[in-house]
């Protein structure tokens, strides 16, 4: 049986109420009041499509063997590198194998996630691969006071495809590919450019999705009534309902478009909505997934008995529950670099990134891999040639040891107003990992007044810096204190 | 068997500039100012100096690399000059180079000079160091500054001893208040205004829980010393010799931040001070040390250092501080000249500036802040961060003590 063997999701914890946008920007473009309900998810300043992809991928691989993956496909239109495999950054963060592995970016289209999924499934069906992880992630910058600003949220979701312990069997796919442009982003441009909404709604979503689904049904001989959930993105509420009507399904069978809780997460959204549907699915349920973007991919799945024993991921439901309101529109604008605030001369330092160091130390820097001494058993980070235990000092007698999935305890910390930071104070401290090992790291997703010595932390892969002069985004791991709520 | 440095080398001259925001002076002006005072104090000719050591830290935004800036500024007679850099211990390292050269017999008279010109960078605090920490470290180390690095020690200390952070802060405030009071008495100090504990506690926060007055001054300045053997010093007619009793250095090896550490003490200071007392023949430092200049880059550093110098018992530094034990009229006066806090902290000069105050006190030349009959003066530098640092401890004293 070929199909989905695991899923994962990541919605960043900040949520921006659309009323906050309206209160700040409706003076400029009052039309945004028409969609002022609900809230959108907002990536922290140190998150982007790659870092959120890592979060969703780790979530999806909970309890799974990352070394067994044959491929990692990353789908997004907001990747930081035009030439450097972005999926390769995610794969290294996951400490995947390098030899015998083939990774790829699927980009430049909102349906790139489903296209990557179909590609993965076809290679597994053909017996060429056993296990492929497909991650879709999006973090779009939008101009102020636009409908895009209102509709778009940030997020990521991952699906693991394989043959063993399948929780949702793949039942076929069908695609329509056409050069229909509802919006586009030109090469080197900062923002999307959209055609009028009537065009997007009536000739785009409202026509292409139903026609593709009709084509799928004709091809497979399946009937729309067989499906318990039909999942398709469309941030226009009325059009979303209209598509259900056109398909002849009850409105409760149409998966909610999540406008109210996180907004449209672009390339990630078909996966985000699909994972939300899987989280509620029972054995025997049939799910029909359709995407949208220069055509439409349609995919069918049937949930198996294995879903009953499946647990572990935080998923979309779990990450939606980890919610903190971002009450300041100015903070949101700064996080997305839409306004210029002064970092001070201290923030000007801009050494380039040594690509040789990055290669030699990729396990340390991207995988958060340290070592465990074979002689004394001490886990340690960073790896050095001589064991850190002064009573041992064994030389180069280590096994690789992963810290990314380890919880830790805060031993000491501060909140630093002098450090150049987009979100001062810069909070950092010394943490001691469960099972041994300790290190000094930046903290994120917390407020200084919530942090205490003794508090637990989890690790999160984050954007460390953006070298504007050279276009290089650097990543590293941060510690996330396990705080409750917040007052951002 | 090593016999240590005790009484093998005497200091015959010292000089120190006024520390502060010396907008109109470059490093060369500062070095010459300190050197002139030092040379006059030593009563020798420049060409009698056979070797020199220069301490400076932030060479990239300061004097640049090599020892040439000192050789050229002082117009030294083409002798050997070596630049040393070891974070905040750089000045003491320069002193160690000169002292060891004399003790070894390699030369008769040597110069140690430290200088730092920090106020040419255009912003407050120490220079940003992400591009000076190495190509690997800049890719992963926390986005730290000096105050943040040391601020963490306060949370670690409070957690270890189960103290309310506000009680630790109160003792930290007393530390700063005391140093400001001493700075008032010192015409060469950078900051010369008294402050109250309340002012310290209510200052704007720099890095939790450190406020502005928990942080030392960032200054320009230079200090230097001329050393020789006690025999030569006597032949030059020097009386009441001040000699070196101990010079110790200890460096972290990574265990604090990667293996085991309570987050409430300095591993290096604890070790270096023990070795220094042994080298100097001191068995009860709380009784025998007359005065100290320690590396009070931040108030919490001084607080914790009192325990690592084995003068306050573990966990008792806040009590000793609040009892006034380290005040000018206390059991072991600390930061007699105002300390880094108020005298200022031009990094490469600081170790020598501390020795300068001990030297003045031992000679009875410390003016309004003169202590009664001091015998041993201890200086201490700590460069880097609590979890990864370079520590130096020096003890000088009366030659016959």
Q: What is the pLDDT of residues B175-227, one digit of tens each?
A: 999 999 999 999 999 999 999 999 999 999 999 999 999 999 899 999 999 99
Q: Among partner residues B139, B148, B263, which is closest to A365 by beta-carbon distance?
A: B139
| 3-state SS class at A149 | helix
Question: Does position B230 have pLDDT exceeding 90, yes or no?
Answer: yes
**A349–B131 CB contact, under 8 Å:** yes
Q: What is the pLDDT of residues B340-359, one digit of tens each?
A: 999 999 999 999 999 999 99
Cβ–Cβ below 8 Å for B206 and A388: no
Determine if residue A377 is left, alpha or beta; phi over 0 gives left, psi from -120 to 50 gives alpha, anything else beta. Answer: left
Residue of A nearest to B211 (CA): A417
Contacts of A425 in chain B (CB under 8 A): 207-208
- The mean per-residue pLDDT over the stretch B103-130 comes to 93
Q: What is the pLDDT of residue A484?
A: 81
Q: Are A123 and A133 in contact (CB under 8 A)?
A: no
**Domains of chain A (ranges plus CATH)?**
3-335 (3.40.47.10), 406-481 (2.40.50)
CA distance A355 to A369: 18
Can you read off the two tokens belonging to residue B252?
Answer: 């972290």
Cis omega before residue A392 (within 30°)? no
pLDDT score, position B162: 97
E strand or H helix that includes residue A176: strand A168-177
Going from N- to C-terminal start, the domains of chain B cover 10-119+220-240, 146-211+243-398
At A487 the pLDDT is 54
CA B84 to CA A26: how far, in whole Å? Answer: 62
Check residue A68 and report its DSSP letter.
G
How far apart CA B190 and CA B221 sit, in angstroms, is: 10
Torsion B58-B60-B65-B71 (CA) sign = negative
Q: Which residues of B are catalytic?
A: 88, 345
CA distance B348 to B343: 14
Higher-confidence residue of B126 and A58: namely: A58
How many angstroms separate the CA of residue B152 from the nearest CA in chain A?
Answer: 5
Report CA B399 to chain centroid distance, whole Å: 22
pLDDT mean by block of 10 residues, chain A; 488 residues? 98 98 98 97 98 98 97 98 98 98 98 98 98 98 98 98 97 98 96 96 97 98 98 97 97 96 98 98 98 98 96 94 96 96 86 95 98 98 97 97 97 96 96 97 96 97 96 98 76
Q: Please name the fold of domain B146-211+243-398.
A: Peroxisomal Thiolase; Chain A, domain 1 (3.40.47)
Contact B155 A413 (CB under 8 A): yes
CA of B297, closest CA in chain A: separation in Å? 15
* Closest CA of chain B from A421, distance in Å: 8
CA-closest candidate to residue A430, choices B161, B154, B126: B154
B352, B113 contact by CB (below 8 A): yes
Beta-bridged to residue B205, according to DSSP, are B211
Instruction: Kindly indicate the confidence band of residue B132, based on its pLDDT and cuts at 50, 70 and 90.
Output: confident
- Say which residues have a Cβ less than 8 Å from residue A432's Cβ, sequence separation at least 6: A408, A409, A411, A438
A417/B207 Cβ within 8 A = yes
For chain B, what percent of residues have pLDDT higher than 70?
Answer: 100
Residue in A472, A234, A447, A250 with CA at minimum distance from that of residue A350: A472
Question: Which 393-422 residues of chain A touch chain B by CB within 8 A?
Answer: 411-421
Q: How far apart are CA A468 and CA A454, in angstroms?
A: 37
- Tell me the average pLDDT of chain B: 97
In 3D, which of B369, B364, B365, B376 has the Cα closest to residue B339? B369
Q: 3-state class of A416 per DSSP?
A: strand
Beta bridge partners of A152: A264
B10-119+220-240 matches B146-211+243-398 in fold: yes
Distance CA B119, CA B368 (A): 29
Whether the pLDDT of residue B307 is over 90: the answer is: yes
pLDDT at residue A351 in the model: 84
For an interface test with A, the pick among B142, B216, B384 (most A C-beta atoms closer than 10 Å) comes out as B142
How confident is the model at residue A350, as a pLDDT? 81
- The encoded tokens of residue A416 equal 């630093």
CATH class entry, domain B10-119+220-240 = alpha beta
Which three-class secondary structure state does DSSP give residue A146? coil
Beta carbons of B142 and A357 less than 8 Å apart: no
| Contact call for A414 and B155, based on CB within 8 A | yes
**Touching check for A349 and chain B: CB below 8 Å?**
yes
Pairs of CB atoms within 8 A across A/B: 135
Q: Does pLDDT of B335 surpass 60?
A: yes
**CB of A242 less than 8 A from some CB of B:** no
């Amino acid at each position: 049986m070929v199909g989905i063997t695991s899923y994962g999701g990541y919605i960043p914890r900040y949520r921006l109420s659309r009323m906050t946008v309206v209160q700040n920007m409706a003076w400029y473009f009052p039309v945004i009041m028409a969609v002022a309900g609900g809230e959108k998810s907002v990536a922290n300043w140190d998150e982007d499509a790659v870092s959120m992809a890592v979060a969703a991928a780790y979530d999806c691989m909970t309890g799974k063997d990352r070394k067994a993956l044959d491929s990692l496909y990353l789908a997004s239109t907001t990747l930081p590198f035009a030439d450097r495999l972005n999926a390769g950054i995610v794969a290294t963060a996951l400490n995947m194998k390098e030899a015998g592995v083939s990774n790829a970016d699927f980009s430049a289209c909102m349906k790139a996630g489903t296209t990557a999924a179909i590609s993965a499934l076809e290679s597994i069906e053909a017996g060429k691969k056993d296990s492929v992880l497909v991650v879709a992630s999006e973090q779009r910058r939008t101009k102020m006071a636009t409908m895009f600003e209102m509709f778009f949220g940030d997020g990521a979701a991952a699906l693991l495809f394989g043959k063993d312990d399948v929780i949702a069997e793949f039942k076929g796919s069908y695609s329509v590919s056409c050069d229909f442009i509802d919006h586009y982003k030109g090469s080197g441009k900062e923002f999307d450019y959209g055609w009028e909404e009537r065009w997007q709604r009536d000739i785009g979503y409202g026509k292409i999705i139903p026609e593709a689904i009709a084509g799928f049904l004709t091809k497979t001989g399946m009937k729309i009534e067989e499906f318990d959930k039909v999942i398709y993105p469309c941030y226009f509420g009325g059009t979303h309902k209209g598509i259900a009507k056109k398909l002849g399904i009850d409105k409760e069978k149409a998966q909610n478009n999540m406008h109210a809780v996180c907004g449209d997460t672009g390339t990630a959204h078909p996966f985000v909505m699909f994972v939300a549907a899987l989280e509620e699915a029972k054995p025997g349920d049939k799910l029909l997934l359709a995407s949208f973007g220069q055509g439409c991919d349609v995919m069918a799945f049937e949930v198996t008995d294995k879903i009953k024993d499946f647990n572990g991921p935080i998923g979309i439901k779990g990450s939606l529950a980890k919610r903190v309101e971002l009450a300041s529109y100015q903070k949101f604008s700064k996080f997305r670099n839409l306004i210029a605030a002064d970092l001070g001369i201290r923030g000007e330092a801009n050494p380039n990134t040594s690509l040789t160091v990055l290669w030699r130390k990729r396990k340390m820097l991207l995988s958060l891999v340290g070592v465990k001494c074979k002689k004394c058993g001490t886990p340690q980070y960073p790896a050095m040639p001589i064991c850190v235990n002064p009573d041992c000092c064994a030389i180069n007698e280590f096994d690789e040891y992963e810290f990314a999935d380890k919880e830790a305890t805060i031993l000491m910390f501060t909140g630093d107003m002098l450090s150049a930071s987009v979100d001062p104070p810069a909070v950092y401290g010394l943490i001691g990992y469960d099972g041994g090992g300790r290190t000094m790291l930046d903290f994120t997703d917390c407020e200084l007044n919530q942090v205490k010595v003794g508090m637990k932390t989890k690790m999160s892969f984050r954007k460390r810096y953006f070298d504007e002069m050279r276009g290089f985004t650097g990543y590293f791991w941060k510690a996330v204190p396990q705080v409750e709520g917040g007052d951002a | 068997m090593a016999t240590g440095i005790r009484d093998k080398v005497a200091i015959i001259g010292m000089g120190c500039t006024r520390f502060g925001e010396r907008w109109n002076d470059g490093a060369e002006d500062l070095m010459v100012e300190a050197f002139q005072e030092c040379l006059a104090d030593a009563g020798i000719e420049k060409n009698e100096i056979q070797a020199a050591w220069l301490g400076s830290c932030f060479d990239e935004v300061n004097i640049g690399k090599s020892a040439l800036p000192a050789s050229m500024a002082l117009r030294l007679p083409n002798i050997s000059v070596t630049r040393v850099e070891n974070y905040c211990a750089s000045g003491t390292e320069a002193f160690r180079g000169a002292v060891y050269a004399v003790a070894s017999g390699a030369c008769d008279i040597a110069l140690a000079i430290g200088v730092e010109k920090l106020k040419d960078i255009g912003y407050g605090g120490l220079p940003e160091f992400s591009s000076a920490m190495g190509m690997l470290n800049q890719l992963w180390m926390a986005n730290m500054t000096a105050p943040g690095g040391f601020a963490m020690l306060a949370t670690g200390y409070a957690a270890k001893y189960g103290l309310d952070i506000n009680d630790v802060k109160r003792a930290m405030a007393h530390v700063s208040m005391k140093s400001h009071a001493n700075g008032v008495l010192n015409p060469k100090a950078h900051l010369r205004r008294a402050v109250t504990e309340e002012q310290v506690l209510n200052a704007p926060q720099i890095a939790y829980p450190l406020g502005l007055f928990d942080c030392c001054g960032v200054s320009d300045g230079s200090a230097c010393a001329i050393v020789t053997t006690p025999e030569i010093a006597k032949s030059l007619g020097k009386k009441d010799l001040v000699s070196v009793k101990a010079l110790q250095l200890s460096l972290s090896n990574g265990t604090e931040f990667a293996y085991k550490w309570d987050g409430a003490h300095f591993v290096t200071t604890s070790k270096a001070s023990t070795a220094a007392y042994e080298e100097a023949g001191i068995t009860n430092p709380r009784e025998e040390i007359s005065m100290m200049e320690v590396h009070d880059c931040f108030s919490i550093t001084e607080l914790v250092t009192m325990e690592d110098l084995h003068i306050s018992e573990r966990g008792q530094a806040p009590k000793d501080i609040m009892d006034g034990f380290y005040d000018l009229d206390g059991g072991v006066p600390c930061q007699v000249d105002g300390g880094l806090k108020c005298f200022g902290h031009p990094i490469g000069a600081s170790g020598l500036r501390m020795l300068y105050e001990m030297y003045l006190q031992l000679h009875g030349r410390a003016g309004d802040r003169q202590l009664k009959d001091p015998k041993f003066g201890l200086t201490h530098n700590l460069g880097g961060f609590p979890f990864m640092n370079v520590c130096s401890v020096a003890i000088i004293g009366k030659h016959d003590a």
